[in-house]
Amino acid sequence: MENFYYTSDNGVVLKIKAVPNSSKNEICGLLDGALKVKIKAPAVENKANEELVKFFSKILKVPKSSFSLKSGATSKIKSLYIEGCTIDKIKDVCANIIS
């Protein structure tokens, strides 16, 4: 599994390639060292970023308040910090998607 994540402080940072305006929220695999994630919301008024946090909060079972965008607020390539999350939790969620 390619490293699209790293530990930072008391959590994990994910490198994400967001694809807004998709038909559903889903992790599609790896693309250029980032986790490719389709997001239903459009890339306007921070809606895609909010939907990205909501999606990862649900699949990782981590509160939305634990998430913050380290970089890429207006870019498709984002660094998403998840406080209190572990590498093992990321690997468990992504194991079926990424080989």
Q: The pTM is what?
A: 0.92
| Residue that has been written with the tokens 């008391």 in this structure | 10
Q: How high is the pLDDT of residue 84?
A: 94
Amino acid identity, residue 60? Answer: L
Measuring CA to CA, how many Å separate 78 from each of 10, 13, 14, 22? 19, 10, 8, 17
In the prediction, which pLDDT does 94 show? 83
pLDDT value for 37: 96
Q: What local confidence, expressed as pLDDT, does residue 98 receive?
A: 65
Task: Tell me the C-alpha distance between 65 and 15, whole Å.
Answer: 19
Query: Can you list the domains of the chain with their CATH numbers?
Result: 5-94 (3.30.1200.10)
pLDDT (tens place) for every residue of the chain, 99 residues total: 558 999 988 999 999 999 999 999 999 999 989 999 999 999 999 999 999 999 999 999 999 999 999 999 999 999 999 999 999 999 888 887 765
Distance CA 44, CA 57 (A): 21
Amino acid at 25: N
